[in-house]
Structure 1
Amino acid sequence: MTDCGCSKAKAELEEYLHNELASTDAADIREHMSGCTDCSSELHVGLVLTEAVQRACKEVAPEQLRDQVLLSIRTIQATH
């Protein structure tokens, strides 16, 4: 493994977070992240955002709210 450098680590951060890299590329980025404070900070932010989005995608609006939103949409569509 070789240190891939900040440019590559940051450019491929999203793919790294989603396990979309070849194992050698992921290992190079992981190695770089372990020794680079700046990149590991960006990794932390990426992890927090990814987890927040995953949680938000699992949440379901209450049925009453969904019905109200759909009714509002239909009302708007009917008048336009």
Structure 2
Amino acid sequence: MTDCGCDKAKAELEEYLHNELCSTDAEDIREHLAGCVDCESELHVGRVLTEAVQRACRETAPGDLRDQVLLKIRTIQATH
């Protein structure tokens, strides 16, 4: 176990958020975050953004809007 430092923590933050790191790297970053206010703040921003994107991906357009967009796409495709 080593202190990974801010550069490594910030470079691997997204993978850390998505649980895509090996356990050793994840533990190094977890320990670094526990003692670094700046990197912990970056983690918070990353979590907020990840949650916002996940919420946005669950939303769907109203049926009539979807139908209008698809009709417009088909009309454009038919003329090209």
TM-score by length of 2: 0.92
Inter-partner Cα distance in structure 1 for 2:28 and 2:70: 48
Return the offset for 1:32: 0.5
Aligned counterpart, 1:40: 40
1:2 Cα deviation from its structure 2 partner: 2.3
1:28 matched residue in structure 2: 28
Q: Could you tell me how far apart the structure 2 residues matched to 1:77 and 1:56 are? A: 28
Tell me how far 1:42 sits from its aligned partner: 0.9
Partner of 2:14: 14
Q: Percent same amino acid among aligned pairs? A: 84
User: Is 1:60 aligned with 2:60?
Assistant: yes
- Over aligned residue pairs, what C-alpha RMSD do you find? 1.0
Letter in structure 2 aligned against 1:30: R
Deviation sequence 1:13-32 (CA, Å, 0-9, x none)? 11001000111111110110
- The CA deviation string for residues 1-50 of structure 1, in whole angstroms up to 9 with x for no partner, is 32110111011111001000111111110110111111111111110111
Letter of the 1:59 counterpart: E
1:6 and 1:25 map into 2 onto residues whose CA distance is: 13
